[in-house]
Amino acid sequence: MPQGKPEAVPDDGLTTRQRRNRPLLMVHTGPGKGKSTAAFGMALRAWNQGWPVGVFQFVKSARWRVGEERALRVLGDSGEGGTVTWHKMGEGWSWIQRPGADHSDDAREGWAQIKRDLAAETYRFYVLDEFTYPLKWGWLDLDDVVETLTGRPGAQHVVLTGRDAPDRLLDVADLVTEMGKVRHPMDSGQKGQKGIEW
C-alpha cells in the first residue's frame, strides 16, 4: 500500500467516500508486545474525531491502575473530543488460568454488555482488550461473536486484542496485525516496569 493508496479498487458499487467510511473490524494478535498499546492509539484517534469510545478489558483487574486508562479517562472528561467509557469485566484475571478461579461468568456478562452496546450503537469505537482469551478458553461462543461483530449496525469500528486469535475471527476481520517478538526484557528475567508495561 504505497503512500496510502490501495493496490486494487474492488468493483463493489461503492464510491470512494462510502468505502473510506466503512466500519472496520480489526484484530491485533501475536506473541509480541504492543497489541493493546496499538489499540489504545486508535482509541486516541477516535477520541480526537469526537467519537464516543468504549473500552472493555477482559484481563485487567478493577484494582489495577494502567496508564492508558487514566489518560483516556482524563481526555474523555475534558470536554474536547469524544467521551470515553471504561469497563473492566469482573475482578480481573490473568492470561494464565489459576486453579479454583472461574471468571467465565464475568466474561459472558462482559460480552452480553458489548452486544447490548453494539445493538444500541452506544459507541463509535470499541476496544475489546484481551478478548481473544475468553474465546480461546471456550468461555464465549465463537459463532455468536463472529455473527454479532460482522452484523453490527451503523458505523461502529471494533478492535480486539490478544494472542491466539481464532482463524474464523481473522478470516472476517478487515485488518489483522500480528505482533511478532524478537526480544523482550522478560526473556532475561526482568519483570515488567512502570511506564513500559503499565
| CB crowding 157-195: b at 16 or more within 10 Å, else e | bbbbbbbebeeebeeebeebbebeeeeeeeeeeeeeeee
3-state secondary structure of 130: coil
Is there a domain that residue 70 lies in?
A: yes
For residue 171, give the C-alpha cell: 478470516
Band of the pLDDT at 2, cuts 50, 70, 90?
A: low
Check which CATH number belongs to the domain holding 75 and give it. Answer: 3.40.50.300
The total number of structural domains in the chain stands at 1
Is there a domain that residue 167 lies in?
A: yes
Is there a domain that residue 11 lies in?
A: no
Is there a domain that residue 147 lies in?
A: yes
Is there a domain that residue 148 lies in?
A: yes
Q: Please, where are the H alpha helices in 121-191?
A: 132-136, 142-150, 167-172
What DSSP letter does each residue of 37-62 carry, written as one string?
HHHHHHHHHHHHTT--EEEEESSS-T
Q: Which residues contact 24 (CB under 8 A, 6 or more apart)?
A: 157, 158, 174, 175
Amino acid sitting at position 22:
R
Q: What is the mean pLDDT of residues 3-11?
A: 77
Is there a domain that residue 67 lies in?
A: yes
Band of the pLDDT at 187, cuts 50, 70, 90?
A: confident
The H-or-E segment that residue 114 falls in is helix 104-120
CA distance 72 to 85: 9
Q: What is the mean pLDDT of residues 170-192?
A: 91
Domain that holds residue 66: 22-91+105-179
pLDDT digits (tens, 9 = 90+) for 38-89: 999 999 999 999 999 999 998 765 566 677 888 898 889 999 999 999 998 7
Is there a domain that residue 13 lies in?
A: no
Find, among 161, 113, 100, the residue nearest to 136 by Cα.
161
Band of the pLDDT at 194, cuts 50, 70, 90?
A: confident
| pLDDT for the residue 95 | 47
Is there a domain that residue 198 lies in?
A: no
